[in-house]
Amino acid sequence: MTSRRTVLMALGAAAAPVAFSQTAAGDYPSRAIKVVVPFPAGGGGDNLARLVLARLGPELGQAIVFENIGGAGGNVGVASVTRAAADGYTLSYGTNGTHAINQTLYKNPGFDPLKNFEPIGRLSRIAALVVVRPGLQVSSMSELLALLKKNPGKFSFASAGNGTTSHLAGEILKAQAGVSAVHIPYRGGAAAMIDLLADRIDFMIDVMPSTAPQVRSGRLRGLAVSTAQRVASFPDIPTIAESGVPGFDVSAWDALFAPAGTPKPVVDKLSQALAKVLRDEELRQQLAQRGSEPAPATPEALRQFIQLEIERWGAAIRRSGASLD
């Protein structure tokens, strides 16, 4: 009898966490949700996170509270969320930098994006734009590629720093187009843009929130976008794939994550709310003005996408030789 009672008690204890999780998921959310943004306040990533994720509040009936924890290319903030309770009340904003590039760029980023997190959904896809200095005598992407092929190693491209999206987009272009150009890393995209405008660097492939204003003002020429399809806000600018590099498709992206072990009903509720937010026409227009577009994905699709992104960006990093400790 004692043995049977012991077994039943053990089974009851084992079932308790499951029952608790199901109850918690049914009541979720019952208080404010914190989103850790792993970048400084006021930057591009922070602004985009707040623009989209603040809208989750009305959908879920609770406040969304943002906490900025910068450092190590976003690794510090993202890693902090792995130590949070897996209850859906602490989430992480992430990007192709934190959840793909950094996995190869850093020897120890402090987290595994697939093992330590439950993907919730993607927010947006952000195209990059090829821009050239004012004095460079090319008017199309095909002309730029021809110039680079005829003069290997004689032209330079700028980036916001080693291992950034702008750097690796250039490396991927070099590999897929079979061209050569010298990479000049800067301490941030703003510094690179200054030298590009001053004719001290030849070209750059950077995200559209940084490049689009310069093209709209006429200070720089935009030759091609990096995504597989043209960007709605610049319909007359062709893609790199259309311009002689078939299959070229590179973009920055951002997404929302929960700590590993977060109950599936909670993840699903967050994912559905995010997908609804991204259908809002006003938000879609605001994203388009920034050169990005809604790119919703289910948790399962996002997990598969991240695995592919880790491999693709990792290959570009290994070719470039970039590494950070």
**Contact by Cβ (8 Å): 109, 141:** no
Distance, C-alpha 132 to centroid of its chain: 24
pLDDT of residue 8: 40
- Rounded CA-CA distance 203/23 in Å is 56
Q: Quick one: pLDDT at residue 209?
A: 86
The single residue listed with the structure tokens 């897929």 is 176
Task: Assign residue 244 a region (left: φ > 0; alpha: ψ between -120 and 50; beta: otherwise).
Answer: left
Which residue reads 């020429």 in tokens? 221
- pLDDT for 233: 87
What's the angle, vertex CA 139, arms to CA 138 and CA 144, rounded to 5? 50
Confidence (pLDDT) at 14: 47
Q: What is the homologous superfamily of the domain 127-243 according to CATH? A: Periplasmic binding protein-like II (3.40.190.10)
The CATH 3.40.190.150 portion of the chain extends over 2-126+252-320
Q: What superfamily does domain 2-126+252-320 belong to in CATH? A: Bordetella uptake gene, domain 1 (3.40.190.150)
Beta bridge partners of 252: 126
What is the C-alpha separation between 203 and 223, in angstroms, rounded? Answer: 10
Write the DSSP assignment of 92-144 as a string of letters.
Answer: EEEEHIIIIIHHHHBS--S--TTTSEEEEEEEEEEEEEEEE-TT----SHHHH
User: DSSP letter at 20?
Assistant: H
Helices (H) and strands (E) in the chain, counts: 13, 10
Going by C-alpha positions, the residue among 40, 167, 182 that lies closest to residue 104 is 167
Axis crossing angle, helix 189-197 with helix 208-216, rounded to the nearest 10: 30
C-alpha 257/C-alpha 267 separation (Å) is 9
Could you tell me where the beta strands, DSSP code E, fall in 161-208? 182-185, 203-207
158 vs 59: CA distance, rounded Å: 41
Element (H, E) at 76: helix 75-81
Q: Where in the chain is the domain with CATH 3.40.190.10?
A: 127-243
Query: Alpha helix (H) ranges present in 278-320?
Result: 281-289, 299-320
Return the SS3 of 155: coil
pLDDT tens for the 325 residues of the chain, in order? 444 444 444 444 444 444 444 445 679 999 999 999 999 998 888 999 999 999 999 999 999 999 999 999 999 999 999 999 999 999 999 999 999 999 999 999 999 999 999 999 999 999 999 999 999 999 999 999 999 999 999 999 999 999 999 999 999 999 999 999 999 999 888 899 999 999 999 999 999 988 999 999 999 999 999 999 999 889 999 999 999 999 999 999 999 999 999 999 999 999 999 999 999 999 999 998 887 899 999 999 999 999 999 999 999 999 888 888 6
pLDDT of 249: 94
- What is the widest separation between alpha-carbon atoms in the chain? 91
Closest among 60, 38, 37 to 274, alpha carbons compared: 60
pLDDT on residue 24:
52
